[in-house]
Amino acid sequence: MEISAPTLSQLRELEAESVHIMREVAAELERPVLLFSGGKDSIVLLRLAEKAFRPGQFPFPIMHVDTGHNFPEVLEFRDRRVAELGENLIVAKVQDSIDSGRAVEQGLSRNRLQTVTLLDAIAEHRFDAAFGGARRDEERARAKERIFSFRDAHGQWEPRAQRPELWNLYNGVLGPGETVRVFPISNWTELDVWRYIAEEGLELPSIYYAHEREVFERDGMLYAVSEWLRPSDGEVPKTVRVRYRTVGDMTITGAVESDATHPDAVIAETVATRLTERGATRADDRTSEAAMEDRKREGYF
Amino acid sequence: MEAPSLLRLAAAGSVDDGKSTLIGRLLYDSKSLMADQVADAEVDLARLTDGLRAEREQGITIDVAYRFFATPERSFIIADTPGHVRYTRNMVTGASTADLAVVLVDARNGVLEQSRRHAYLSAQLGIRHMVACVNKMDLVDWDEERFRQIEREFGDVLRELGVEDAIAIPISALHGDNVVEPSENAPWYDGPPLLRHLEQVEVARDRNLDEVRFPVQWVIRATDYRGYAGQMASGMLRAGDEVVVLPSGERTTVERVETLDGPVEVAFPPMSVVVHLANDIDAGRGSMICGAETPPPVARRLDARLCWMTDAPLRPGARYQLKQTTRRVRASVESIDSRVDLARLRDGRPAAELQLNDIGRVHLDLATPIMAEPYTRNRVTGAFILIDEKSRDTVAAGTVLEAYEDPGPPTGPHSPGVIWHEPALPRRQRWSRLGVRGATVWLTGLPASGKSTIAEELERRLVALGRPAYLLDGENVRHGLSGDLGFSPADRSEHARRVASVARMFADAGLVTIVALVSPAAADRQWARQLHNEAGLEFIEAWVDTPLDECERRDPHGLYARARAGRLRGFTGVDAPYEPPMAADVRLRGAEESVEQSVERVISALP
């Protein structure tokens, strides 16, 4: 009788790949750091780090680039989660970059200013590798990015000079001042992330699930009314049942109407949707066709 | 219902074969495409997948893009690889992780050189499943004869490449025929549409499940906890299994295999797990835990195929870092044996260099061994990259054709026109079958220092212990092999070279070779050591350090007396220098310790 070959489920195969990537970074780079936004992708990263290194400590600290315009639910979640893990948290504040004159506020969004704060923090702590939760399915410039994404001494990405990335053999050899961004969940989709959250029973900040919120509509997106963002003339605030698909700066992250109060309900809505999470809810990616490519070249996440 | 599995596929084709359109169609029709990614899908499916500004401007695909879609049966990762010949390296990158290749063929043009090249590269990268999508069938009026002709041509190419699982599908990517839904335009085609085939093809068996290879990535340490973390490269591993840890060669058993989620009954590729061994042994990153029955070679030399990926050409003699599994070692290019003729898909002639996008066959020398085996047998342990030490760039993708434990030809001169033959029987196999372990003990010291006495006793003791040993006495070798040599510095050097070369071969054969030779020149001894080290053989320099006056007092053959009287010229210690070793492995005090003591000390230094 022929015995069928053992097979991992797609989700567990992705998990195994991500764990391998994290261990490679820990072994080959000197001072890695894990970038944590409080969003679902970086929450998955934390779980993957547990899978890779427990019962040992993480061989790297966790860093949050705080725009100062965060959802309070996310900050509360961040502090609680890091305390549970018993790991080190570094908070790099965009406000500090503004106060010191390193970054200048233009308009409402501090999204682009994060790059300055991020690069300064990487230099200050002499990090040579930074884990991020970016995925290739998010956006088309990301679809081309390597898992080990090389940055020059200015933190910049050169899409035409990416190192070839073959098999699972990552080249983490760096020169002075050079760094590498590492994306362990490059090959995951939004749906994979949600399925993993459901299978692993991961807790998320409450804003990911349906809740009543005062919002107003602008450019076809629903924005929360907050101290940083108020409706202009003609924009009528209303209370709607919404959830967030991504977590970013409050001024640019839009909500979607939803009744999903648990992961399986979100999965059902995700399967049915016809818009990517970035296209639906992120104003920063709507600026131009190459908005993400341009920001990545500058050193964005 | 079984959880969906993952299929990684590479899509390749010539510039205008419609590859990006096909991928756009797969994404669109399987409803994996989001509305904001569809600018005007019906008009321009291809543009969906070209992500970089330069690509949109030039209308071609430069870099590999990864696309994702899923059906209830399976999830798919598509490496969308550029078709242009200038981006062969990107094709190789995309295909390196793929289980299946989809090669696009334009029905009007048939199987072009580039389609053949992509099929060849895919086969070289170990892809065992191929699909030829004969595209633009609508432009040849769905002519069955035309399709069958291409199907035959493509089949011939694949047969030659040894690809067994292949299928040709007549499609129109633009109109969606036979991509997701069967087409009414080709009633004569009774096979599945592309997506159905992709959902059903079985790839789990492609993985090597027979030979356990577990490269250690990282050691997890915590209080009362020490586990070896890594990803299963091949084989199936369970608690209780007998394993050998390479390169040290220590044997032990597996105590348990686990993940954060608990014990794992059987680990198989590509699982990431933590392995606990029964004995406390010296293993760390770069070690490989292997099945005790079928360990891989601990290779110092590779016969390999390289795809060259950078502008500066590869030349013989160049040195790189080689990364394979979790090891990074220095490697030098000994020779470029051939450059593949990509038009004829055959190994060509020896080449002076490899240029960007060239594929060639090379011999590599490794400064430190790696556990490697042919790529056709193991896609993990047979794969490596080369990293340039100055630019730090990844400059080549390599696949192992053969991994040799045995060193190649010794460095130094060889007769004109001779060819080195690789030993058919690897050293380790010979040694383990015969239960021997070769090495060379090189006894150096002044005349009459006691070298021969120690050497003879050492030989007797080793043989009594059951270790094959053989004494190469300098004087005896001068009867015969070195019979044409005198005692000038040049002749002494040549004599040492011959003795060292013979010792190397004896040690390789499995003998503990004992050399008793004055060998006054440090350079000659150093050369002998290098000869052994390069061959991966132990070399023990034992300095018989007996003071000159004691040697002169002994003078068993009256040679010192003759030299002092001026009747013997160039005698070491009298009118020719002896250069004492700076770092002998063993220093024997010939005047102070007994022969037995000296012999014991040498034996304890032996591997």
Compare B55 and B478 and report the one with higher pLDDT.
Answer: B478
Helix (H, G, I), strand (E, B) or coil at A246: coil
- Bond into A55 cis (ω within 30): yes
Q: Where in chain B is the domain with CATH 2.40.30.10?
A: 213-291, 298-404
Residue B51: list chain A partners with CB under 8 A: 140-144, 293
**Which are the contacts of B564, defined by CB distance < 8 A and separation ≥ 6?**
B574
pLDDT band at B332 (very low <50, low <70, confident <90, very high): very high
Whether residue B1 has pLDDT greater than 50: no
Q: Does the pLDDT at position B35 exceed 50?
A: no
Assign B88 a pLDDT band (cuts: 50, 70, 90).
Answer: confident
CATH number of B5-205: 3.40.50.300
Nearest to A10 among B4, B54, B220 (CB): B4
Of the candidate CATH numbers 3.40.50.620, 3.50.50.60, 3.30.1490.20, 3.40.190.10, the domain formed by A10-191+290-298 belongs to 3.40.50.620
Q: Which two tokens stand for residue A12?
A: 């567990």
Question: How many cross-chain Cβ pairs, A to B, lie less than 8 Å apart?
Answer: 186
Q: Whole-angstrom Cα distance, residue B243 to residue B254? A: 7
* Residue B489 contacts residue B522 (beta carbons within 8 Å): no
Least confident range of B64-78, B448-462, B477-491: B64-78
B468 and B436 Cβ atoms separated by less than 8 Å: yes
Considering chain B, tell me which residue range(s) the CATH 3.40.50.300 domain(s) occupy.
5-205, 427-605
Written out in words, the top-level CATH class of the domain with range B213-291 is mainly beta
| pLDDT at res. B60 | 47
Among all residues of chain B, which has the CA nearest to that of A200? B261
Asked if A144 and B64 touch (Cβ cutoff 8 Å), the reply is yes
Q: Is the peptide bond before A176 cis (omega within 30 degrees of 0)?
A: no
- The more confidently predicted of residues A119 and B413 is A119
Mean pLDDT in residue range B373-396: 94
- Highest averaged pLDDT of the listed ranges B23-32, B398-407, B509-518: B509-518
Which CATH number is associated with domain B427-605?
Answer: 3.40.50.300
Task: Look at B6 and A173 and tell me if their CB atoms are within 8 Å.
Answer: no
pTM of the entire predicted model: 0.80
Selected residue of A57, A138, A140, A256 to mutate for chain B interface (largest B Cβ count, 10 A): A140
Residue-wise pLDDT for B526-547, tens only, equals 999 988 987 878 999 999 999 9
CA distance B274 to chain A (A): 9
Q: Is the pLDDT of residue A287 over 70?
A: no
pLDDT at B42: 43
Residues of chain A neighbouring B64 (CB-CB closer than 8 A): 144
Q: How far is CA B268 from CA A6, A65, A137, A237, B286, in A?
A: 7, 39, 28, 56, 19
Q: What is the mean pLDDT of chain B?
A: 88
Predicted complex ipTM: 0.89
Is B298-404 assigned to CATH 3.30.70.890? no
Q: Which tens digit of pLDDT belongs to each residue from B557-600?
A: 899 999 999 898 889 989 899 999 988 999 999 888 999 999 99
**Chain B 572-601, residues with CB within 8 Å of chain A CB atoms:** none
pLDDT digits (tens, 9 = 90+) for A124-137: 999 999 999 999 88
Domain boundaries, chain A: 10-191+290-298, 204-285
Confidence category of residue B90, pLDDT binned at 50, 70, 90: confident
Report chain B's C-alpha Rg in angstroms: 32
The per-residue pLDDT for A295 is: 60
Residues 6+ apart with CB under 8 A from B156: none
